[in-house]
Amino acid sequence: MRGFFVFSIFLLVFSASGYADSRECLDRAASYKEAGNYSRAIEVLLSAKTGDERVKKYLARIYFLGGYPRKALRIFSRIRQKDWLDFVYLGLALEDLGKTVPAIKNYSRSLALEKNSIALYRLGKIYYHQGAYAEAKNYFIRLNAYDSSIRVVNYYLGDLFLKEKNYGQAYSYLSKAANFYPRNIPIMKAFEAARSLLGKGFFLKEREEKEARRGGIKLLPYAPGKGIPYVTVGIAAGLDDFVFSSGAATVVLGGKSSFPVAPDKFYLVSLNGSEITIADYKTKKEYARFYGPVEIKPTAYPLYILDLMFGKNNFWQAQADRAYRGGMRVVRDKSGITLINELTVEDYLYGVLPSEINPGSPEEALKAQAVAARTFVFKNSGRHRREGFDFCAEPHCQAYLGFLSENKRASLAVDETRGEVAEYNGAPLEVFYHANCGGCPRSSFFGKQAYPKNKFDSEDNTPVSLSPYEEEEWVRRRFPAFCAGESSGSNFRWQRIYDREDFFLVFGYPLADVKKIKPGAQGECFRYERVDVAVGKEKIALDGGLSIRNYFDKLRSSLFKIEIKYSYGKPAMVIIWGAGFGHGAGLCQDGAVGMAREGFGYKDILEHYYPGTVIKEKY
């Protein structure tokens, strides 16, 4: 037995140690704490007649959260066996009392035992406010490398580089912060300052260098497979214009009109009233006008398109030049121009796989992902029919970054599973997948019961059952699971922490205005389906995992525990302990990697996450 069994022994060892009331005491205290009733949780823990150190540690944590850091410190000082979590809370309590030197030492001890975002973030903040900018920058850079989903770090890094007069780096970080928080006045002021200090010459030179790089790009030809179905993918919408080139001579068709496209020449396509025009990219000389949709015919070379946005408002947001196999339809609608890529399923998957899973993953994990992605295509064709295409290019469907993202190892996995689809009861499976399940893949999503049961992510398939205290510890800590490997980074367990300054930057209102953050209904695998927030006189009901994640600054998942730390009866800090990345249904990509490293084949991996399925060849 492995996986959750090991964790259960870790949690329940007190039962064999003679502490008869520890479990009940901890569970009752955890329930009160979840409801925000710290005083009642403290009463329960103080009433426990046990020497169990878990009770003492939990009491110390809740004393800190309730605004009694000295009481927390007294308890922690009597605990001999401290782990990384104890050192985190020690650092927080000491910092709360203004004792920054010992706080730094305890955060550092925590990091020596377990990499965690709270210690990295607080060390960055301490040095930032001390004016020790080099040290602050070091910790914020380390944090950004460990967990780039903590978006506010871009502001602090930008501000630090601004203070160092490194305006290029400052602009790079502050432009991200400005995209994430466009209504935040301090962030926008810092962004405008960096841009102004760089001057127009910087951006002119940057553009010239970018254009020179574009002129030197030569895309390799490809041969689309035969006998393979086609799909359509919406790669951009709401455009006023776009720029493209082709590696070979082709033609643009629109109604009864056509225009010949020369190879390796850039063209500007834009809206002009009810017409779509094609012009020279540099001179803007107009070549042709079309009414209605336009089709750029495919060649043996990909189409190259400039400055396409992907992942808007998410921490992976990026704008880049991209290339696409197949042809392109240009459609004018109410929002502007929509670009629709038409290509074969296998060519599409070449651009999906390295966008969805690390192409350096083991071969069997890549093959499992290839089958899952192909199954998604056959199950969900026409998902965006109203917009005029089958799939979008974002994670809502499947991330698809096109030809330039392709990778030999990922493409080989597509080739070696050519045409394979996972079926259940004779039809393509309702396939979901995500980055990391946090140790518990759920069996339903979007109201759909997709798989027979949900279970912990281990070989022994332990049923999901945890008491309130066990659940809280499970969310905080690492334990053996397929998706808990070192390569999972901050996906498996993650943290967020907001002091008063951070909270205002991120949410736009004072932390003191928060009256309540009350978690409500939970779905499978302890994921919240409802959270109630009271801010001033406003009451906000957050329904559904995605709504909850988006409100709390784009959390990695809705599987988390939230703590409000008080000072003199007012909220002073928010701490979030989370698990997993994504919705948690179906294939866990980090889990697939873990299984492959343990010697499981791709069909074993698919059976683990989609039990009862059969692999069939569609072509």
| Within a domain: 460 | yes
| Within a domain: 143 | no
User: What's the pLDDT at 450?
Assistant: 60
Q: Is 113 exposed, middle or buried (0-12, 13-18, 19+ CB in 10 A)?
A: middle
- Locus of tokens 């651009």: 351
Cβ proximity of 350 and 224 under 8 Å? no
| Within a domain: 96 | no
Q: What is the pLDDT of residues 234-281, one digit of tens each?
A: 999 999 999 999 999 999 999 888 999 999 999 999 998 889 999 999
| Within a domain: 84 | no
- What contacts 24+ positions apart, CB below 8 Å, involve 65-74? 65/33, 65/38, 65/563, 65/564, 65/565, 65/566, 66/38, 66/39, 66/42, 66/566, 67/565, 67/566, 67/567, 67/568, 67/569, 67/572, 69/93, 69/94, 69/96, 69/97, 70/97, 73/97
| Within a domain: 160 | no
Same domain, 336 and 445: no
Q: Is 454 exposed, middle or buried (0-12, 13-18, 19+ CB in 10 A)?
A: buried
Cβ proximity of 434 and 586 under 8 Å? yes
Strand runs labelled E in 158-215: none
Supply the DSSP string of 89-128, one letter for each residue.
Answer: HHHHHHHHTT-HHHHHHHHHHHHHHS--HHHHHHHHHHHH
Q: Which of 418, 449, 477 is the last residue of a domain?
A: 418
Same domain, 524 and 472: no
Same domain, 410 and 515: no
User: What's the pLDDT at 217?
Assistant: 78
Same domain, 326 and 413: yes
Q: Chain-wide mean pLDDT for the chain?
A: 92
Q: How many CB atoms lie within 10 A of CB 283?
A: 8
Number of residues in the chain:
619
Q: How many CB atoms lie within 10 A of CB 374?
A: 26
Same domain, 327 and 469: no
| Within a domain: 479 | yes
| Within a domain: 214 | no
Same domain, 480 and 601: yes
User: How many CA atoms, within 13 angstroms, populate the side-chain half-sphere of residue 345?
Assistant: 25
The whole-angstrom separation of Cα 593 and Cα 71 is: 44
Domain encompassing residue 521:
493-579
Same domain, 301 and 355: yes
Same domain, 234 and 356: yes
Q: What is the pLDDT of residues 270-324, one digit of tens each?
A: 998 889 999 999 999 999 999 889 999 999 999 999 988 776 666 666 788 999 9
Q: State whether residue 467 is helix, strand or coil.
A: coil
Q: State whether residue 572 is helix, strand or coil.
A: strand
Lowest mean pLDDT among 85-99, 160-174, 430-444: 430-444
Q: What is the pLDDT of residues 509-546, one digit of tens each?
A: 999 999 999 999 998 899 999 999 999 999 999 999 99
Lowest mean pLDDT among 117-126, 292-301, 440-449, 575-584: 440-449
Q: What is the pLDDT of residues 179-211, one digit of tens each?
A: 999 999 999 999 999 999 999 999 999 888 888
| Within a domain: 281 | yes
User: What's the pLDDT at 115?
Assistant: 97
The whole-angstrom separation of Cα 577 and Cα 504 is: 20
User: What's the pLDDT at 462?
Assistant: 72
Domains in the chain: how many in total? 3
Rounded to the nearest 10°, the torsion over CA 376, 379, 380, 381 is 110
Whether the per-residue pLDDT at 151 is higher than 90: the answer is yes
Same domain, 376 and 272: yes
Average pLDDT over residues 82-99: 98
Q: How many CB atoms lie within 10 A of CB 295?
A: 18
The whole-angstrom separation of Cα 510 and Cα 498 is: 11
Whether the per-residue pLDDT at 9 is higher than 60: the answer is no
Same domain, 412 and 328: yes
Same domain, 323 and 464: no
Q: Which of 418, 441, 462 is the last residue of a domain?
A: 418
The whole-angstrom separation of Cα 137 and Cα 128 is: 8
Same domain, 512 and 540: yes
Maximum separation of any 2 CA atoms in the chain, in Å: 87
Q: What is the pLDDT of residues 153-186, one digit of tens each?
A: 999 999 999 999 999 999 999 999 999 999 999 9
Contacts of 207 (CB under 8 A, 6+ apart): none
The whole-angstrom separation of Cα 286 and Cα 353 is: 39
